[in-house]
Amino acid sequence: MLATPSLSLLAEAAAPSGGLTSFLPIILMVAVFYFLVIRPASKQEKNRKARLSKLDKGDQVRLTGGILGRVASIEDQIVLVEIADKVKIRVLKAEIGDKWEPPVVTPTVVTPTLVKADGAEVRS
C-alpha cells in the first residue's frame, strides 16, 4: 500500500509540464552559438576565399604552415610558391593562409645624451 502512493507521486513529477518551455534553453544556446561562433567564422572564410581568388603572380603569401614566399605561377588549384632563390614548392591554393605584407621598418634617429656626474643631461 505504501508503494502505490509513492509511484503516483513519481509519475506526476515526471510528467512534462510544457513542450516548448523545456526546449527553450536548448534553442537559445544553439542560437547564441550560431551568432557568436558559426556566422563570424563563415564570414571570415568567405573573405579569405575572395582574397585568394584575386591572388596574382608576384604576390607575397603566407602558407598555413607558416612558410612565407612569393607566388611564381598559378594553375587552377595549384600554386607554385618561391620560398628562396631557385627553390619553388607546389602547394594547393587552399593551403595559402593569406597575402602577406612585410612590415615597413622606419629608421629612427637616436640622439645620444650624456649625463654629467651631477645628473644634468648634455645633448650633443
First-to-last C-alpha distance (Å) of the chain: 105
The pLDDT of residue 11 is above 70: no
Report the largest interatomic distance among the alpha carbons of the chain, rounded to a whole angstrom. Answer: 105
pTM for the whole structure: 0.55
Contacts of residue 116, defined as CB under 8 A and 6 or more positions apart, other chains included, come to 122
Confidence of residue 35 (pLDDT cuts 50, 70, 90): very high
pLDDT at 44: 92
Q: What percent of the chain stands above pLDDT 90?
A: 48
The residue that leads in pLDDT, 120 or 68, is: 68
Task: Give the mean pLDDT of 104-121.
Answer: 77
Confidence of residue 16 (pLDDT cuts 50, 70, 90): low
Task: Give the mean pLDDT of 14-21.
Answer: 65
| Class of residue 70 by CB neighbours under 10 A (exposed 0-12, middle 13-18, buried 19+) | middle
Comparing CA positions, the residue from 113, 69, 121 lying closest to residue 95 is: 69
Q: Is 56-104 CATH 2.40.160? A: no
In the β-sheet with 78-84, what is the strand arrangement from edge to edge?
Answer: 87-92, 78-84, 68-75, 60-63, 96-99
